Amino acid sequence: MSMETYRMVISEDEPAEELLVDVYNIDDMIEATERIPYEEYALTSMTESSPDPRETDATADVTILDVQVTRVEEAFEVRLLGDREELAVERIADAEWGLTDTEA
């Protein structure tokens, strides 16, 4: 294997119902993807337009890529893992993305 650069893009779908995570290789081919429905976390979007996507690059020599999403203190923590090692992390706070708890 050799070093490869990956781009993790975190965005929101058009109806503002899901957090989308896509990881692209240097040729813009999707290497990993994850969809996180807000409904599963009792959240809803309160904004009229989707927030700007977040992008993070990572360069690594790995054979397996994975995306891990956890919920921590009113935010999503999105991790890009390569061979189970953390390559990149982004924190998506509810307040920044206009998300609110539907059970509150």
Mean pLDDT, residues 31-35 taken together = 96
pLDDT given at position 89: 98
pLDDT in tens, 47-88: 888 899 999 999 999 999 999 999 999 999 999 999 999 999
Whether 4 shows a pLDDT value over 80: the answer reads yes
Q: List, as one string, the DSSP characters of 51-64.
A: PPPEEEEEEE--S-
Is residue 23 over pLDDT 70?
A: yes
Q: What's the pLDDT score for residue 1?
A: 62
Task: Give residue 90's identity as a one-letter amino acid code.
Answer: E
Please provide the distance, in angstroms rounded to a whole number, between the alpha carbons at the two ends of the chain: 49
Task: Give the structural domain span for 75.
Answer: 4-101
- Per the structure, the count of domains in the chain is 1
Q: How does strand 85-93 pair with strand 54-60?
A: unpaired
Query: In angstroms, how far is CA 6 from the centroid of its own chain?
Result: 13
Look up the pTM and report it: 0.92
